[in-house]
Structure 1
Amino acid sequence: MPSIFETASASSAIPITFVTKASWPAIKEGLSTEARNFAEANVYGAKPGSCLILPAADGRIAQVLFGIEDDDAKHRDLFRPGALPGLLPAGTYRFANAPHDIRLGALAFALGSYRFGRYRKSDSSDVRLVPPDGVDAAELNRLAEAAALARDLVNTPSNDMGPEELEAAAKQVADRFGARCTSIVGDDLLQQNFPLVHAVGRASTRAPRLIELVWGDASHPKVTLVGKGVCFDTGGLDLKPSSSMLLMKKDMGGAANVLALAQMVMDAKLKLHLRVLIPAVENAVAGNAFRPMDVFPSRKGLTVEIGNTDAEGRLVLADALALADEDKPDLLIDMGTLTGAARVALGPDLPPFYTQDEALAADVARCAAAENDPLWRMPLWAPYDSWLDSKVATINNAPSGGFAGSITCALFLQRFVEHAGSWLHLDIFAWTPSSKPGRPEGGECQAARALYKLLSERYG
């Protein structure tokens, strides 16, 4: 995604004036008579999200009026300016005054410029923005570019984004920043002790694999990112209904978002030793598909009974987390599109996160709020851990009962983390069901910006 930020002089850019219902009378009074008459003829009232393009005497654009919430509104959408790229004609613009948060407003403008154009010509116009004074345009472009990577990967349908293509995407990111990228493919997973990754992916004609990216000075603090890379999920033999399969191209959203976060980290040259692990599989249906009530060993040595083949994401993450944990990283983070229960509890826009580290939890919540990248802490509720008990194995991947599905998934994964300094688990959705300012409908970069801020503060 090319940068939308323009280095041209602000004096030649078209001004965008942010207007609230409270400020509109004074702003209207300051307009020329012709512009005021034009606004009144269009019944402009500064409703949040409303856009009015005021013409100059020569027919060009004199300025743009854009409505945002009043300062005392119950809710202010700090990404409201992200709607502008879809409303404005081609041209270079500038903020004539500040929205509620000028940095987040400029970031939203960049994020709102995204269009997925792999299969048809994008309908976006060439709308550019002169960065507001005091805003680090390079950093905002870093965030927007990484978000576009995550969105592109999630939006690409599974016929063009299988395990091999996801590996190629990881290698492309690695090559750009001089990182090392390797993978363990097919039956080699069994030889190198990743039985759960192999079991989930073995029914597909597209070989499962474990992708690894390593970057940075080995003497720096170790940060490991693990992302669920289920490139399509049929549910396996516990087959999903067709309505639930429609969005399953996004089931590799955890992988897409850890790659986006890794790109941010490497682009900013943070002082950490980065490791990224992506178990990439397709959960398919065939004669050799894994079955309900099968029992498999895991890399950690725990035996796992399969309560449901549609709870496959936690299985592939378990082996990858066990590998990550062996290295005793200072911080271990995993992300995956894991449970419908998280969506029932918190909806599509507010992913839950889990950790036992109180200081880390506070930092994550603060960074999420600061970046308008919302996250909400949920508990690793120990009394529910017994729900994972199995009569024939160490643990069951999907306990019966249907309660607290996101929590029990987190508790399952916690069994595979023992030595990391701190562990953080995020159950993301990676999708925007309907367009919002700065967030076009489709694949979404969730949690990565908040985590980048956290890592920047700790290792910048």
Structure 2
Amino acid sequence: MPLTFASSDTDALPLFVLEPDGLEPWLEGQDDPTRQWVKASGFSAGMGATLMLPGPDGTPRAALAGYGTAAQRARQRFVLAAAATALAPGDYRLANDLPDDRLETEALGWLLAGYGFSRYHDNAPSCAGLVAPAGVDAARLEILAASEALTRDLVNTPTNDMGPAELEKSARELAGAFGAAIEVTTGDSLLQANLPMIHAVGRAAEQAPRLIDMRWGNSGPKLTLVGKGVCFDTGGLNLKPGASMGLMKKDMGGAANTLGLARMIMALGLPVQLRVLIPAVENAVSGNSFRPQDILTARNGMTVEINNTDAEGRLVLADALVYGAEEAPDLMLSLATLTGAARVAVGPDIAPFFTDDETLARALADAAGQAADPVWRLPFHDPYEALIEPGIADLDNAPKGGFAGAITAALFLRRFTAGAKSYAHFDIYSWQPSAAPGRSKGGFGQGGRAILAALPKVLGL
């Protein structure tokens, strides 16, 4: 179903959103039949509880939704989204006020509750409609929801239908929808264009590796987004065990999130010069796979010793980052499903990021709560630089020891960002392990809304 608000409140039922402490005061203002009905139904305004209120003829005249306690709400990102799928079909309008700092989040969560991945099977949830609450920018929230749906769809699609060629097709469709320019460098042309590490990682697959380069906007600050597009990661010759390979269709989650963020920026018409770079590859196994102990030379001339072919994402990102930094963007961001160490550090729900820019770090931290998109800063810890210097080459793609894996990966990427005026790297998971209100199990957007909310302050928009 389209993730949009109900078009009219003419026939929409009033929806009263109540906390447990507010239920009795609300009941005091109701007639006896309503009080008896609510009490007989056992409705206590617990989080996620709903109740239809019948009119004299037995048809619904209003509905109640439990908002839970403050402590309960602290554990849930989108509280009201639970009511969206629990209420009887139809359209509803809020009949009482929600806190101003929660209104936009709850309205967005309601829209996202309508998402289902239905490409192969009808998984569309039964979701009630909501009239856009007064005080929210309905058009903006619909853009955010549609962009999130794009990210989720891309991540959820398996690699047999979302390889490098299909990822390119999706990028071209997005570019066409918003009048963006797009160029794609494919196969051996990557070598001619001096993008050797993208070629090395992807050359073993049936679908050729490629670099997708999309541009939009002719004025304003330069914003470059780089998304990891590893459409499937076997681990290469350092083959992953089966249990670790099961979710590797999502290893292009960085690219999916980058395209979702790009869609938000273009649909909202932000005054920036946007560039999106996606190295799209499949890390496969064949006779010409790159090997452990190979030494690759990146676009900027730095040499990289390969100590694990399963640390391939940083290799393809490195060439793309150098390429993007050559234009001296005001802000360059990389998004990637890069390390398991990041998940060990903060779990699947938080997007850790790295930056040396204090203004950017503060803006992201402030924006995360506003956007219901939690992020957490991890350090570019300079003393760990020695861990990624093997001696035989400039850099090691997979330092031994297992310590600080997310930090050493981020330090590796930072080596390829010279020229960018400001840089941040997001090590995202892009997967919701189990369903929650407004968050279906599966592909998931992380970091994009926080970045979007931080851009005005960071770029002076």
TM-score (norm 1): 0.96
Aligned match of 1:42: 41
DSSP-derived class of the 1:12 partner: coil
Per-residue CA distance 1:349-387 (angstroms, 9 max, x = gap): 011000000011000111111111000000000001100
- Quick one: distance in 2 between partners of 1:112 and 1:427? 25
Matched, 1:87 2:86: yes
Q: Describe the SS at the equivalent of 2:52.
A: strand
> What runs of 5+ residues in structure 2 fail to find an aligned partner?
none
2:428 counterpart residue number:
428
Q: Secondary structure at the match of 2:64?
A: strand
Please tell me whether the aligned partners of residues 68 and 99 of structure 1 are also in contact (alpha carbons under 8 angstroms): no
Which residue does the alignment assign to 1:169?
Answer: 170
Deviations 1:61-113 (A, max 9, x none): 22222222334768263511122232123211111123341111111101111
CA deviation vs aligned residue, 1:34-54 (integer Å, no higher than 9, x gap): 333232223222211222222
Asked if residue 194 in structure 1 is aligned to residue 195 in structure 2, the reply is yes
Change (3 A) 1:371 1:439: same
Cα distance in 1, alignment partners of residues 225 and 40 from structure 2:
55
Structure 1 equivalent of residue 205 of structure 2: 204
Instruction: Give the residue type in structure 1 aligned to 2:275.
Output: R
Contact 1:226 1:276 in 2 (8 A): yes
CA distance in 1, matches of 2:73, 2:165: 47
Measure, in 1, the Cα distance between the counterparts of 2:33 and 2:244: 54
Q: Secondary structure at the match of 1:334?
A: strand
Query: How do residues 227-238 of structure 1 correspond to structure 2 at under 5 angstroms?
Result: 227-238=227-238
1:136-178: per-residue Cα shift (whole Å, max 9, x none)? 1000001001000000000111110000000000000100110
Q: d(CA) in 2 for partners of 1:234 and 1:74?
A: 40
Q: Report if aligned partners of 2:300, 2:322 keep a CA contact under 8 Å in 1.
A: yes
* Contact 1:4–1:127 (8 Å) recurs in 2: no
Deviations 1:2-46 (A, max 9, x none): 24212213x531122111111111123333333332322232222
C-alpha distance in 1, partners of 2:389/2:140?
A: 47
Aligned to 1:22, the other structure's residue is in SS state: helix
2:405 paired residue number: 405
The amino acid across from 1:124 in the alignment is P
Letter in 1 for 2:38: A
> Identity of aligned pairs, percent?
50
User: 2:118 aligned with 1:124, yes or no?
Assistant: no
Residue matched to 1:328: 328
- Kindly tell me the number of residue pairs found equivalent between the two proteins: 458
CA, structure 1 residues 137+74, in 2 after alignment: closer, same or farther (shift >3 Å)? closer
Equivalent positions of 1:40-119 (< 5 A) are 40-71=39-70, 75=74, 77-100=76-99, 101-119=102-120
Aligned partners of 2:310 and 2:352: how far apart in 1? 20
Range with bigger deviation, 125-134 or 362-371: 125-134
Please give the alpha-carbon distance, in whole angstroms, between the structure 1 residues aligned to 2:174 and 2:98: 34
Q: What CA deviation, in whole Å up to 9, does each residue of 1:112-143 have, x standing for no partner?
A: 11111111123423632111111110000010
Other structure's SS at 1:254 match: helix
SS of residue matched to 1:97: coil
1-structure distance, mates of 2:127, 2:177: 26
Q: Distance in 2 between matches of 1:456 and 1:42?
A: 48
1:255-266 matched pairs, under 5 angstroms: 255-266=255-266
CA contact (8 A) 1:348 1:432 kept: yes
SS at match of 1:282: strand
Would the aligned equivalents of 2:117 and 2:124 in 1 still touch at CA under 8 Å? no
Change (3 A) 1:166 1:138: same
Judge conservation of contact 2:115–2:124 (CA < 8 Å) in 1.
no
List aligned pairs for 1:284-303, cutoff 5 A.
284-303=284-303
Please state how far the C-alpha of 1:244 moved relative to its aligned partner.
1.1
Counterpart-to-counterpart distance in 2, 1:84 and 1:184: 47
Write the letter of the residue equivalent to 1:52: L
The one-letter amino acid paired with 2:83 is: L
Contact 2:111 2:438 in 1 (8 A): yes
Question: For residues 168 and 67 of structure 2, what CA distance do their matches in structure 1 show?
Answer: 42
For 2:173 and 2:58, how far apart are their aligned partners in 1?
46
Note if contact 2:6-2:132 (Cα within 8 Å) is conserved in structure 1: yes
Q: Distance in 2 between matches of 1:459 and 1:204?
A: 43
Question: In structure 2, what residue type is equivalent to 1:283?
Answer: N
Within 2, Cα distance between the matches of 1:459 and 1:174? 25
Equivalent residue, structure 2, for 1:159? 160
Structure 1 residue 135 corresponds to structure 2 residue 136: yes
Query: Is 1:147 the equivalent of 2:148?
Result: yes
Contact 2:47–2:72 (CA<8 Å) still a contact in 1?
A: no
Describe the SS at the equivalent of 2:150: helix
Task: Give the 3 Å change call, closer, same or farther, for CA 134–187 of structure 1 in structure 2.
Answer: same
Cα distance in 2 for partners of 1:300, 1:118 equals: 41
Corresponding residue SS for 2:454: helix
Counterpart code for 1:105: E
Shift of 1:314: 0.7
Deviation at 1:459? 5.3
Report the AA paired with residue 244 of structure 1: S
> Counterparts of 1:158 and 1:311 in 2: how far apart (Å)?
19
The letter of the residue matching 1:94 is R
5 Å matches for 1:302-313? Answer: 302-313=302-313
Instruction: Tell me which amino acid in the other structure corresponds to 2:138.
Output: A
Aligned to 2:181: 180
Question: What is the deviation of 1:455?
Answer: 2.1
What are the superposed Cα offsets for residues 193-245 of structure 1, whole Å, 9 maximum, x if unpaired?
1111111111110111000100101x421100000000011111111111111
- Structure 1 counterpart SS, 2:21: coil
Q: SS of 1:260's equivalent? A: helix
User: CA–CA distance in 2 between the matches of 1:180 and 1:285?
Assistant: 33
Q: Tell me, yes or no, if the aligned pair for 1:351 and 1:428 is still in contact at 8 Å.
A: yes
Q: Partner of 1:389 in structure 2?
A: 389
Contact 1:150 1:257 in 2 (8 A): yes
